[in-house]
Amino acid sequence: MRHLFRFTYYRRIQISFLVLILLPTIMVAFLNYSTTNRQVKEKLMLSNDNILAVMSKDISKMMDDLTFASHFFVQDVSVRNTLRIFSNVERIENGSHLEQYKLIKDFFSLVAAKTMNNEIFMYLVNDAGFIVQAYDMYPTPEQVMKQWESVKSRVDESEPKQIQWLGMVQSGSDKTYYLSRVIRDPVDNKLLATLFIGLPEVYFKKLFQQVSTEHLALFDAGGQRIAGAVNIPYERTSEANRNIRNEVLIKKAGWKLVYETPESELTGELSKTFYLSLLLMLPFFLLFSIISIVVAKRLHYPILRLQRSIKQFGKGNRTITFPEDGKDEIAELGKTLNGMVEQIDKLIIDIEQEQEQKRVLELQALYAQIRPHFLLNTLNSIKCNLSLSDDQVHTRLIESLMSLLRAYMKMAEPLSLRSECKLLGDYVEIMKMRSDLSLNLDIRVAPECAELEIPKLLLQPIVENVFVHGFAENTNSNPSINIVAHQISNQVEILISDNGGGIPLNEREELNLLLKGGSTEDQASYKRIGLLNVLQRMRLTFGTDAAMHLLANDDGGTTVCVRIPILS
């Protein structure tokens, strides 16, 4: 027993080895852990600041667009003249009322191109309570009336100089945040109308899709939550004091964006790896201390080598690795140390790559917003000039082109059958000009299937075939296209008919065979792939029950029959 406590030379070497290995390793591990933890927090803070900056820029731009819309209705002389005449209209009773109503709708179309956001809706209420919507389809007049009844008492009619924040309106499970602008006559201060702007909850959900919404929240100037995670408070609390919190104030709206990440999510895996590494190291140190009593001299050199490696690692050289020769305890200790270093390096590299990917995606999103906005703003400027020149034909063509461009910008989003038919009308207007055809388009959609969601521009290739093939010779003196949609049992049938040259029987039978599911080789060799692509999009969206076939009609042309199953 006394022999164990004799401080011989080798005993001193053993003790010094233990001190030089155990203490530096733990210190380096703690230092590396704290340094890594701090660096990760700093990188996350910087990344969150960039995310909040991008989102606040989007919201600020939205507020600028809404401010532009309100200024347009307040300051434009032609708008005020129209509102003077329309201010006391309770219902449209004559042609003059209808003309003023259409002028106000035209004003809305001018500002709608500036906002470029289909989720935001606006409507104007005159002094007699008559409502003029910017868009007729959404929200419905009943929804608008119900929401207006909820917010009209919140409007301060004596404050016409600024946009007023009216708060939230709950309609079933949907929430809408309202703003308003009072419009008064600068001559006699008479109330002309009130502009209401609605921001539905879906707008904020789409805005938050680029980040994790469980860490992000948006508050108004009064501290009321507008959107985002319910567990994030308006101000930092003592319970969440250690959480990583980024805030940005949107001055134009008085809103606050908060991004709060729990510290446990950020450092949990890092801490787990650190403590697991310590637990793995302790048995080896214990085994080493027992064996060193007998083999201290043999272990002297490996320990010195391990000591040098640890010192280099403590100086920041994360590429250092301990040679894993042999199967003794020192080699195992070196493997454990190498594993810890590799895991820490991997965590750092993964976090840096993730932040770089986020930065690239944010830049791509910003670049993608510039070109469509430039083109649409340019087209809108051309349309305004044509409208001022009273060129209604080309104004309508520009409006149709802008409508199609907006649709191509958001091809991934589904569209109701009613809206799809409206886009077809815009497409036909453009094709009539290109092909110099005086064509009549008749669209009849049954109410029960008008809101069926289909892929955007699904029917456009079929109508395009009519122009390219049906009226190629332009021999019909009264060309026409008829579109009829109705519901049959659990399917919606869409018939697209023309009175063009038609398709020969053998070609029509061949094409119907392909549409029913001919061989892949036959489809690949078929030159007219427009209809096949339409069928493929239908089946990818609605399943294999979606079908299409061609018929000859009484007008000598062709009828394309499209059948879409109604998914429950």
Residue 216 within a domain? no
Residue carrying structure tokens 């070497």: 13
CA-CA distance, 206 to 211, in Å (whole number)? Answer: 10
Residue 137 within a domain? yes
Domain boundary pick from 153, 186, 205: 205
Residue 6 within a domain? no
Residue 440 within a domain? yes
Domain residues for the domain of 125 are 76-205
Residue 305 within a domain? no
Sheet of 164-171, strand order: 131-133, 121-126, 191-200, 174-184, 164-171
pLDDT-derived band at 18 (thresholds 50, 70, 90) equals: low
- In eight-state DSSP terms, residue 477 is S
Counting the structural domains of the chain, the total is: 2
pLDDT-derived band at 365 (thresholds 50, 70, 90) equals: very low
pLDDT recorded at residue 565: 93
Residue 512 within a domain? yes
pLDDT digits (tens, 9 = 90+) for 246-302: 888 888 778 888 888 877 776 666 777 777 777 777 777 777 667 666 666 565 566
Average pLDDT on 417-435 reads 86
The DSSP bridge pattern shows strands 225-228 and 216-219 to be: antiparallel
pLDDT recorded at residue 438: 84
Residue 227 within a domain? no
Residue 434 within a domain? yes
pLDDT-derived band at 139 (thresholds 50, 70, 90) equals: confident
Domain boundary pick from 174, 205, 236: 205
SS (H, E, C) 35-81: HHHHHHHHHHHHHHHHHHHHHHHHHHHHHHHHHHHHHHHHHCHHHHH
Does the pTM of the predicted model rise above 0.75? no
pLDDT recorded at residue 497: 94
Share of the chain above pLDDT 90, in %: 10
Q: Which of 49-58, 62-71, 328-337, 550-559 has the highest mean pLDDT?
A: 550-559
Closest CA to 383 of 373, 391, 372: 391
Q: What is the gyration radius of the CA atoms in the chain, in angstroms?
A: 35
Q: Which amino acid is at 261?
A: T
Domain boundary pick from 190, 205, 220: 205
Q: What is the CATH number of the domain that holds 477?
A: 3.30.565.10
Q: What is the CATH number of the domain that holds 102?
A: 3.30.450
pLDDT digits (tens, 9 = 90+) for 142-198: 888 888 888 888 888 888 888 888 888 887 777 888 888 899 888 888 888 999 988
